[in-house]
Structures are given as structure tokens and as C-alpha cells.
Amino acid sequence: MRIRVLGSAAGGGFPQWNCNCPNCDGVRKGSIRATRRTQSSIAVSADSVNWILFNASPDILSQIQSFPELQPARKIRDTGIRSIVLIDAQIDHTTGLFMLREGTTPLNIYCTDMVHEDLTRGNPIFGILDHFCGVSWHRVPVDGESAFEALGVPGLRITAVPLTSKAPPYSPHRHDPHKGDNIGIQIEDINSGKKLFYAPGLGAIEEHILPYMSQADCVLVDGTCWTNEEMVTLGISDKRALDMGHLPQSGEGGMIEVLKPLPASRKILIHINNTNPILREDSQERKQLDAEEIEVAFDGMDITL
């Protein structure tokens, strides 16, 4: 199984267009050791020919252009993206669908009932796409047991795991969580048995999630904020990480503590907010991650399991 990190940042990317926090200002001026990042998305394949796109960020066109394998050029109009799996209905994970509207066949999109409802009512992306390429929707079960294989992408078995997080701000049930608003994904290579657990939005480590994380050869999980108060302390927002459905890395019960005992050969943080000090390659926070053998995802990162 091959995993390509197309984008590794949280919503807004890094630097964020209107932000002058020390990270964003520093990367623009070249005064800090940090690398620019686009908004989070990954592509996964068992054969490096047929790919599943997990989330379609607003940066999808540049991400496709930076990864030639997604354009095999077998005919006048072509793509290596055979199916798309949405882990939630957030704007930074779905807006890129508009950029894929020139397709000659309906987009094969897999998502839960709750995400489908948000993308047909609250933010009717699916209805708009019906005026262009169209959407072929496939329901993703959220019982944590029913696995599925995505159309056109042989060799991979996918299981959705319901997570505690929040529906998008535009959702009618933003403050009334429903099962399926947000999911984690276990992807298994059918031939090798290798497993990836992917969850860019992870607000709590519930008991039913731990077995999937413990079985994974690679965990690629929420790296949004270093502390719960990060954005409040910087005067950027009154929202804490947990308020937004993201478990901070540091502190008691934080992501570092969760990842430490896992047997996975690779532990990687993705969906990194522009304020997070781990973006600075020489920061103390980054050194702490290095000591724990926890990696920080970057655009173009290639993972083979």
C-alpha cells in the first residue's frame, strides 16, 4: 500500500492568507525553519495506478499537479483518481470537489449519511455537481465492522470508525452531534495485511478507537494544535482545540501520550494548524516529537506499507 500526503495543513493552509502569527509571518519572511503546506488530503493505492482520494481540499488542483501519478494520461481526458472518500463535511475537506467538476463520468464519492445530508442540504455541493459531472454516492456504514472496497481501486479494504468531533459550522446539527459526522478510516492492504489508521480530526480517544490504532502499522492522525489554549493565547480566536473537535498533542491525555504505547512502526501527525509550534523544524516542541519518534507530515510525503 502506498500513501501520498497531498496536503498536511489544517484549514487555511500554512501560511494562512490573513494570518500574521509568528509562524505565518516567519515562513513568509524566511526567518524561521518551516515549510509551506496546503490543506490536508491523502491519496492511497495498492498498485500506484488506481487511487482513492481521501478528502478534496480547496488546494486539490495544485496537489494533483505536484503528483504526476494522479494523471496517467492514457486518453484525452483521464485521471488516476477512481474514488473519493470524505471523512467529514468540513469546507476544507470538500470544496475541492468543485475543482473536479470537468469529469466525464459521475464522481464516485463515499461518505456517511450525515455527511451526505450536510452536502445536499446545508452546503449543497452534490446538487451543484449534478449540473456538471454528477455524483455517484455510496453510503459508508459507521458500525465499525462493515468493510468496503472502493470502485476502481482493487486491493484495499476500508472500514469507517465513528469519532467524537463536530459537524461543520454550517450544519443544522453543529451543536447536536450525530454518529457519522466525522469518521476515522482503517485501510487494509488485502494482499500484505498491512494497515493504516487515518483520522485528521480526532477529538477524543474513545474505547472503540484504540483497537484500530493498536492494530495499525501506521497511524496518521490529528496534529492540529500543540496545546488546547493555543489559538486563545495568541489572541487569534476564542476557540480551544477541544472546542473545535481536535485533541491537542501536549498535556495529560494528549496525542503524544496516546501515541507513545502504540506498536505502529510509523506515527505521523497531519492536519497541522498554522499556529502549531511543531511547524518550526528547530522548535523545542519538534524536538520532543523527535524524541518520541513521532513524525510531522509534509506535502509530498510518501509512505509505503
Q: Residue 241: its pLDDT value, please?
A: 84
**Helices and strands: H and E segment counts in the chain:** 9, 13
**Of the candidates 288, 221, 293, the residue with the CA atom closest to the CA atom of residue 261:** 293
* 32 within a domain of the structure (yes/no): yes
126: nearest Cα among 80, 104, 94: 94
pLDDT for the residue numbered 165 = 73
Residue at 209 is within a domain: yes
User: What is the per-residue pLDDT for 145?
Assistant: 79
Give yes or no for a contact between 150 and 81, defined as CB atoms under 8 angstroms apart. Answer: no
Which residue has cell 480526532? Answer: 202
- Amino acid 304: pLDDT: 98
pLDDT at position 245 is 81
Helix (H, G, I), strand (E, B) or coil at 258: helix
pLDDT value of position 40? 97
> 211 preceded by cis ω (within 30°)?
no
**273 inside domain:** yes
Query: Which domain range does residue 92 map to?
Result: 2-299
Domain for residue 86, yes or no? yes
Q: Is 204 helix (H, G, I), strand (E, B) or coil?
A: coil
304 within a domain of the structure (yes/no): no
Does residue 305 lie in a domain region?
A: no
Quick one: pLDDT at residue 243? 83
**Weakly modelled stretches of the chain, pLDDT under 50:** none
C-alpha to C-alpha distances, 195 to 6, 155, 213, nearest whole angstrom: 19, 12, 9
- Do 52 and 85 form a contact (C-beta atoms < 8 A)? yes
Cell numbers at residue 221, please?
492522525
Tell me whether residue 38 is in a domain. Answer: yes
With 0-12 / 13-18 / 19 or more C-beta atoms within 10 angstroms meaning exposed / middle / buried, residue 221 is buried
Structural domains in the chain (count): 1
Grid coordinates of 1: 500500500
Question: Do 285 and 34 touch, CB atoms closer than 8 A?
Answer: no
Q: What is the pLDDT of residue 103?
A: 87
Mark 204-215 as b/e (b = at least 16 C-beta within 10 Å): ebeeebeebbee
Query: CA torsion, points 219, 222, 227, 228, in degrees to nearest 10?
Result: -130
Cα gap 283→260, rounded to integer Å: 20
* CATH code of the domain in which 59 resides: 3.60.15.10
Query: In this predicted structure, what is the pLDDT of residue 113?
Result: 96
Q: Where are the beta strands (DSSP E) in the chain?
A: 2-7, 41-45, 51-54, 81-85, 107-111, 135-139, 156-162, 183-189, 195-199, 218-222, 266-270, 295-296, 302-304
pLDDT of residue 144: 76
Q: For CA atoms 18, 22, 23, 29, give the dihedral sign.
A: positive
Residue 13 inside a domain? The answer is yes
DSSP-derived secondary structure letter, 244: G
Locus of grid cell 506535502: 299
